[in-house]
Amino acid sequence: MFRSTCLVTISFWSLLQVAHAAQEPAGAVFHITPGRPVPELMDYALKATPPAPSAQEKKPDLVDLSSLSPLFHFDVRYATTRNFLSYPVYSSSHAYLERPAAQALVRVQRALHSQGYGLLIYDAYRPWYVTKLFWDATPPDKHQFVADPAVGSMHNRGCAVDLTLYELKSGLPVSMPSGFDEMTPRAYADYTGGTQQERKSREILRQAMAREGFTQLPEEWWHFDYKDWRDYPIQNLRFEDIPPVVKRTAAP
């Protein structure tokens, strides 16, 4: 009798753990509680030293994505409080990529245009100190969702972009199996939950990005790494120090 009761109890708690990811709506902003105040962690990260660059890496050439296509939409969450830290960690709402990655993203946008979709960009280039901040702020059991600052992030190289689809007709984001930066299994690229349409939309995005050399991160359906990321160094350039560019638009 005791054995049966234990098995029922264990099964019950297992079901609770599986169901935990579904407690919040998929579109809600995911939050964590850092162990220390974010400003304190920010000061510490700014004083830290990023990994040393390799001799064979190319000179960075970051491009402001807003200068390339009028169809790119932006919701740079880290410049606002609508992110998992509930704190603005970026000083700018502009998004940058290395030029080859940026040009590839324009081609993705052109291909999606014929299907009635545009790209809504959440994040692109990220200074290394922010990667350090994210790692220090995130509980260890969630570290699979943030990059290890010891090796850096593709975002630090200007070769990763976080994004989703929006409908050209309405201008509204397309529903996906999870919200951006959600640290639950719903964020996995192979998550089988959600609606059939959400999974279809996720696959449309994946295929469009893959055709232009972007690989989807298994833990985050919205994160894509550009194929030539190894060519560029880990950067710690603050947004206010990125040289301004002359805006130019590319036809959709």
pLDDT band at 25 (very low <50, low <70, confident <90, very high): low
Tell me, what's the pLDDT at 8?
A: 34
Q: Is residue 160 part of a domain?
A: yes
Q: Is residue 29 part of a domain?
A: no
Q: Is residue 164 part of a domain?
A: yes
- Exposure string (b/e) for 50-70, b if CB count within 10 Å is 16 or more? beeeeeeeeebebbbbbbbbe
pLDDT above 90 covers a percentage of the chain that reads 81
Nearest CA to 108 among 61, 27, 100?
A: 100
- Residue 220 is among the residues annotated as catalytic for this protein: yes
20 annotated as belonging to a binding site for a ligand: no
| CATH of residue 190 | 3.30.1380.10
pLDDT band at 54 (very low <50, low <70, confident <90, very high): confident
- Whether the per-residue pLDDT at 96 is higher than 90: the answer is yes
What is the pLDDT averaged over residues 169-190?
97
Q: Which two tokens stand for residue 178?
A: 């999870």
Tell me which of 98, 182, 212, 220 is the catalytic residue. 220
- Whether the per-residue pLDDT at 137 is higher than 60: the answer is yes
Q: Which two tokens stand for residue 69?
A: 């296509």
Tell me, what's the pLDDT at 208?
A: 99
223 annotated as belonging to a binding site for a ligand: yes
CB 121 within 8 A of CB 73: yes
State which residues form the domain around 236.
Answer: 55-241
pLDDT band at 251 (very low <50, low <70, confident <90, very high): very low
- Whether the per-residue pLDDT at 22 is higher than 60: the answer is no
Q: Is residue 1 part of a domain?
A: no
181 annotated as belonging to a binding site for a ligand: no
Q: Is residue 246 part of a domain?
A: no
Tell me, what's the pLDDT at 27?
A: 60
Compute the half-sphere exposure of residue 171: CA atoms within 13 Å on the CB side of its CA. 4
**What is the count of structural domains for the chain?**
1
If you average pLDDT over every residue of the chain, what do you get?
88
Give whole-number Cα distances, 56 to 5, 44, 100, 122, 162, in Å. 62, 30, 17, 30, 27
- Whether the per-residue pLDDT at 245 is higher than 50: the answer is yes
